[in-house]
């Protein structure tokens, strides 16, 4: 159940975004860089020896006696805009996703954006995870000159992505 304050905040956020769109049009949409994290399965389906074998396109695939996928979950952080993926990063196994890690990722994203989208002044859109909304993150985003689209609280139905 949303309180009246939450409803007001949601309406204000939506009105601000519509105002920007009315003023800038498609340029506003093209400047938005969306980011999110998700756990994904990582597979190594072929052994090194199998990948070195030469096979013709029409030849049958080699038979494996025991097919065991080396599946493990890894954290994927991805940022994209209307032109495609801008930055992608996998969290190495054994590491944890925390505030310092997220700020480090944002620094890498900032450098990458300057290289691949130099003419755009990016607007960042991410959800309200603790790492995304902490004071340290907000300070780091301010230092990197990121503008952040406010994400309405308690809005799981409008998450930034569902990749």
Sorted by where each begins, the domain ranges of the chain are 20-40+77-158
Q: What is the dihedral of CA 139, 106, 43, 72, to 10 degrees?
A: -10
For the chain, report the end-to-end CA distance as a whole number of angstroms.
27
Instruction: Quick: pLDDT tens for 56-111.
Output: 677 776 665 555 555 677 888 899 998 899 999 988 777 778 888 889 999 999 99
Q: What are the strands of the beta sheet with 32-42, ordered from one edge?
A: 84-90, 72-81, 32-42, 123-125, 147-148
Q: Decide if pLDDT at 163 tops 60.
A: no
CATH classification for the domain delimited by 20-40+77-158, as one of 3.30.420.10, 2.60.120.460, 3.40.50.720, 3.40.50.150 = 3.30.420.10
Q: What global pTM score does this model have? A: 0.71
User: Which segment of 4-13, 17-26, 63-72, 126-135 scores lowest on mean pLDDT?
Assistant: 63-72
């Amino acid at each position: 159940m949303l309180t009246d304050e939450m409803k007001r905040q949601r309406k204000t956020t939506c009105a601000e975004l519509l105002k920007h769109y009315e003023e800038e049009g498609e340029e506003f949409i093209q400047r938005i860089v969306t980011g999110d994290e998700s756990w994904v399965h990582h597979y190594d389906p072929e052994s090194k020896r199998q990948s070195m074998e030469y096979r013709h396109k029409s030849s049958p695939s080699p038979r494996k006696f025991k097919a065991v996928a080396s599946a493990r979950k890894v954290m994927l952080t991805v940022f994209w805009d209307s032109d495609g993926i801008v930055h992608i990063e996998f969290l190495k196994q054994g590491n944890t996703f925390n505030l310092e890690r997220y700020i480090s990722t944002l620094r890498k994203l900032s450098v990458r954006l300057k290289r691949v989208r130099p003419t755009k002044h990016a607007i960042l859109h991410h959800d309200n995870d603790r790492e995304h909304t902490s004071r340290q993150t907000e300070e780091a985003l301010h230092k990197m000159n990121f503008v952040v689209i406010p994400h309405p609280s308690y809005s799981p139905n409008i998450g930034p992505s569902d990749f």
